[in-house]
Structure 1
Amino acid sequence: MKKLLKIIGVLFLILIIIILFRTLTFKSKQVKVHLAPKISLNDSCINHLQKAINFRTISYDDSKIDSSQFIGFQKYLIEAYPLVFSKMKLEKVNDLSLILHWKGKSAKVKPIVLMAHQDVVPIEKATEKDWDALPFSGTVKSGFIYGRGTIDDKGSLIAILESAELLLKQGFIPLSDIYFVIGHDEEISGLRGARTIANLFKERKIKPAFILDEGGIITEYKVPGLNKTAAVVGIAEKGYQTLKLKIKIPGGHSSMPEERTAIDEMAKAVVKLKENPFPAKLTPIVQNFLSFVGPEMPFISKMAMANQWLFSSIIKSSYAKSGAGNATIRTTTATTIFNSGIKENLIPGEATATINFRTQPGITQEDVINHVRKAIDNNEIEIIPIGKGNSPTQIADINDESFKYIQTTIGKIKQDIIVAPYLVLGATDSRYFSENTSQIFRFTPFTDPEGFHGVNERIKISEFKNGINFYYLLMKDYK
């Protein structure tokens, strides 16, 4: 027995040594860079964003787009940024999407692409009264600009154009070609905008060094275990699949319910899906994220991140506690529509449920259907795919110079910031460009934006100006 205990003790000691060694050699992946001097900006940039918000460039799911709002918005942009629209080649795609081509000095250097979109989501009428300022007013209040689109995505669009106009005023000519891709239907899948433009780029054999679209943010508190400011840069994005579940069981009068009804069986299926989620995994993307933030954490958290092989269950448990964290480590399941019944005393003979899945890269529609079939275990329920969905496989290489360049540029606008690659939880227009380049990044240079797709969408003026600074440096220093 003593010999066994001695062996256990030695093995435990070896384990402790391995853990400590891996922790102490878990080196930072951050780059050392000095803050760049802030560019001088007057309040005209604020006025430009305010006026941009005034245009109700709303995308509706039923495709009822008010083209006059987009046309008016584009006319305003031409007036506000005369050098951009006179010095760059403008091309309209499907009438409302735009490509701006800024010719560089050298055709040998691969171009870069900056993306943004003009359209915004609607305002729910029931929530209008909850806004602190009218949703399309662009009101300035307590240091913030309020309005739909300030974050998603007119804030980025105006910041890009402001920085380009300033560079042109200074006589700057980029080394490489720069393309601005400005879609008009991102909020309804970007089929006539970004997808069409991606196909044009493919036909023209335009192979960018990298593409930068909306996605990640700068955050002071959203990374679990990290007490430093972080910038999360999307190197991939989740896909989506939507399934409709349908069951028919003869109904009848509510005074004589049968043991099994359509609505009961569908409710059970929905509960089973909730109780049987996709498994949590520390995918290579998540592991990369942890390898960038882990060395910057307090010792205990750093130890866990350095030894994921041992502490993976603890890490997954920690991330599963929040909606965003849980979505990072698994394919998520969300019941978004449940339909059944038309009268209080009539048992319905049919029930349907619409389930939306946000999938990890590599998860296909077939994988989702198989998971649902196994989880609900009810052959009477018909599983109907809604559309083809989206199953992205693109993952940017973080060892490529393009990622390091973006990391360095972020470091120039924020002191001691931790930059990390991560998985974008939503879909962006940039997904259509995966055949043009694998180096697609998603990052919006604003800190902890508020009201995204909800009430009181707003941007802090200082953050908006900092975003202009970011795009200015990104274009100016690229070689």
Structure 2
Amino acid sequence: MKKVLSAIGVLFLLFLGFILFKTLTFKSNQLTVSPKSYLQVGDSSITRLQEAIRFKTVSYDDTNKLDSTSFLSFQKFLTKAFPKTFKTVEVERVNKYSLILHWKGKTVANPLLMLAHQDVVPVEEGTLKSWAAAPFSGQVKDGFVYGRGAIDDKGSLMAILESVEALINEGYVPWTDIYFAFGHDEEASGKRGAVAIAKLFKERNIKPSMILDEGGIITTNKIPGVTKPVAVIGIAEKGYVTLDLQITIPGGHSSMPEKETALDDMAKAIVKLKENPFPPEMGYVLNSFLDYVGPEMPFISKMAMANRSIFKPLIFSTYSKSATGSAVIRTTTATTIFNSGIKENVVPGQAFATVNFRTQPGTTEADVIGYVKKIIANDKIEITARPGSSEPKQVADVRHPTFKSIQNTLNSLSKDLIVAPYLVLGATDARHFSGLTNQVFRFIPFTDPQGFHGINERISVEDYKKGIGFYYQFLKDWRL
């Protein structure tokens, strides 16, 4: 017995030694670079952002609702707001309202493509009273610029153009050709904007070495176990699948309900889906994220990240505690519509539900349908996929110099900032360009933005000015 206990003790010490070795050799992936100062930005940039927000460039799934005057007026405003930019770059319209700007560099090799979109989502009439400032006013209040598009995505579009105008004023000529693509229907799937622009690039054999769009942010409170601010750079984005579920079982009078009804069966199916989420995945994107944030964590958390093959259940458990964390590690399930019944004393004969899934890279529509069938285990429920599923497979390589170019700029402007690759949870225009290059990144240089698609969308004045500074330095440093 003593020999057995001794052997167990030796194995335990070896196991502990292995864990400690992996932890102590888990080195930081952050860059040590020469510090640079943010560009000094005047208040006139805020005035221009305010004016940009006032144009109601709302996009709708029904293209007939689009207000052409708002888009054309907004573009006319841009040419006046940034005169040297629009005098220097070549401008091309795509499907009337989307724009391609071509800033010629010293070489055509390894061009850069930067994306942003002009359009915004509508504002619900019933929420107007809840806004601290009118949603298309661009009002500055308590250090924030309020309005639809302040973050998504006019803030980024305007900050990019502010940086280009500043560089041109300095006489700067980019190292390579730089393209800017500003779609007009990102909020309506980008079919006439980004999709058409990507097609043109492919036809013209323009192969960007890198694409940068909206997506990740700088956050001070969303990464478990990290106390420093983290800039999360999207290297991939989740897919999108929507399923309609329908069941028909003859109903009848509510005084004599059958044991099995359409409403009951559909409700049971929805509960099963809620209680049986997709299993978590430890793929390339999550592993890359943990490789970058893990070494910056306190020792115990760092130990778990360094030995994730051992502590995987603990990591999944920790991330599953929040909606954001859970969305990072798995395909998510959200029931968004449930309909059944027409009268209080009639047992309905039909029930309908719509369920939206945001899928992990590589998960297909067929995978989702198969999983749903397995979980609900009810052949009476018909399952139909809605058109428009997105199945992105593109994942950028974090070892490539293009990722380091973003990291270099961020670390040079803020030495305390942690930079990490990340999975973007929503859909962006960037997915339409994945056929041009694998190095597609999603990031806006704003800290914990608020009001995406909701009430009181706003950006802080300080944050916006720093965003201009990021784009300015990134473009100035850009080269491969």
Distance in 2 of aligned mates of 1:34 and 1:128 = 47
Q: Is the 8 A contact 1:33 1:411 kept in 2?
A: yes
Counterpart code for 1:168: I
Q: Corresponding residue for 1:65?
A: 66
Q: Deviations over 1:386-423 (max 9, x none)?
A: 01401111010111100001100111222311000011
Q: Deviations over 1:152-182 (max 9, x none)?
A: 0000000000001111111111110000010
Q: Corresponding residue for 2:86?
A: 85
Q: Is the 8 A contact 1:133 1:456 kept in 2?
A: yes
Q: Kindly report structure 1 stretches of 4+ aligned residues shifted beyond 6 Å.
A: none
Q: Corresponding residue for 2:310?
A: 310
Question: CA-atom RMSD, angstroms?
Answer: 0.9
| 1:213 lines up with 2:213 in the alignment | yes
Distance in 1 of aligned mates of 2:253 and 2:177 = 70
Q: Deviations over 1:216-245 (max 9, x none)?
A: 001111111001111000000000100000
Distance in 2 of aligned mates of 1:307 and 1:157 = 41
Q: Corresponding residue for 2:164?
A: 164
Q: Is the 8 A contact 2:49 2:155 kept in 1?
A: yes
Secondary structure of residue in 2 paired with 1:399: coil
Q: Corresponding residue for 2:370?
A: 370
Secondary structure of residue in 2 paired with 1:380: coil
Q: Corresponding residue for 2:75?
A: 74
Secondary structure of residue in 2 paired with 1:426: coil
Percentage of pairs with the same residue: 61
CA shift, 1:60, in A, is 2.2
Q: Corresponding residue for 1:379?
A: 379
Secondary structure of residue in 1 paired with 2:176: coil
| 1:101 lines up with 2:98 in the alignment | no
Distance in 2 of aligned mates of 1:370 and 1:414 = 46
Q: Corresponding residue for 1:320?
A: 320
Secondary structure of residue in 2 paired with 1:389: coil
Distance in 2 of aligned mates of 1:216 and 1:388 = 24
Secondary structure of residue in 1 paired with 2:102: strand
Q: Is the 8 A contact 2:112 2:208 kept in 1?
A: yes
Distance in 1 of aligned mates of 2:66 and 2:154 = 17
Structural mapping, 1:245-324, within 5 Å:
245-324=245-324
Q: Is the 8 A contact 1:365 1:388 kept in 2?
A: no
Q: Corresponding residue for 2:450?
A: 450
Secondary structure of residue in 1 paired with 2:5: helix
Q: Is the 8 A contact 2:23 2:303 kept in 1?
A: yes
CA shift, 1:82, in A, is 1.1
| 1:45 lines up with 2:45 in the alignment | yes
Q: Deviations over 1:407-466 (max 9, x none)?
A: 001112223110000110011001011110000000000011111111111101111000
Q: Corresponding residue for 1:357?
A: 357
Q: Deviations over 1:95-149 (max 9, x none)?
A: 1110000011112x31001110011111122221111111111010111101111
Bigger Cα displacement from structure 2, 372-381 vs 2-11: 2-11
Bigger Cα displacement from structure 2, 12-21 vs 408-417: 408-417
Unaligned 5+ segments in structure 1 are none
Distance in 1 of aligned mates of 2:4 and 2:283 = 37
Q: Corresponding residue for 1:121?
A: 121
Relative to the length of structure 2, the TM-score reads 0.98
Bigger Cα displacement from structure 2, 36-45 vs 379-388: 36-45
Q: Is the 8 A contact 1:186 1:428 kept in 2?
A: yes
Q: Corresponding residue for 1:180?
A: 180
Bigger Cα displacement from structure 2, 340-349 vs 429-438: 340-349
Secondary structure of residue in 2 paired with 1:162: helix
Secondary structure of residue in 2 paired with 1:111: strand
Secondary structure of residue in 1 paired with 2:180: strand
Secondary structure of residue in 2 paired with 1:476: helix
Bigger Cα displacement from structure 2, 111-120 vs 341-350: 341-350
Secondary structure of residue in 2 paired with 1:110: strand
Structural mapping, 1:234-253, within 5 Å:
234-253=234-253
| 1:191 lines up with 2:191 in the alignment | yes
Q: Corresponding residue for 1:24?
A: 24
Distance in 2 of aligned mates of 1:22 and 1:348 = 60
Q: Is the 8 A contact 1:234 1:441 kept in 2?
A: yes
Distance in 1 of aligned mates of 2:147 and 2:449 = 12
CA shift, 1:79, in A, is 1.1
Secondary structure of residue in 2 paired with 1:177: strand
Counterpart code for 2:75: Q
Q: Is the 8 A contact 2:337 2:353 kept in 1?
A: yes
Distance in 2 of aligned mates of 1:160 and 1:244 = 40
Distance in 2 of aligned mates of 1:437 and 1:106 = 19
Relative to the length of structure 1, the TM-score reads 0.98
Distance in 1 of aligned mates of 2:301 and 2:456 = 35
Q: Deviations over 1:252-288 (max 9, x none)?
A: 2222211111111111110011111110122121011
Counterpart code for 1:463: D
CA shift, 1:40, in A, is 2.4
Secondary structure of residue in 2 paired with 1:250: coil
Secondary structure of residue in 2 paired with 1:152: coil
Q: Deviations over 1:362-409 (max 9, x none)?
A: 001110000000000000000001014011110101111000011001
Equivalenced residue count is 478
Structural mapping, 1:405-420, within 5 Å:
405-420=405-420
Counterpart code for 2:9: G
Q: Is the 8 A contact 1:413 1:466 kept in 2?
A: no
Secondary structure of residue in 2 paired with 1:450: coil
CA shift, 1:342, in A, is 1.7
Q: Is the 8 A contact 1:118 1:182 kept in 2?
A: yes
Distance in 2 of aligned mates of 1:284 and 1:436 = 21
Q: Is the 8 A contact 2:38 2:470 kept in 1?
A: no
Unaligned 5+ segments in structure 2 are none
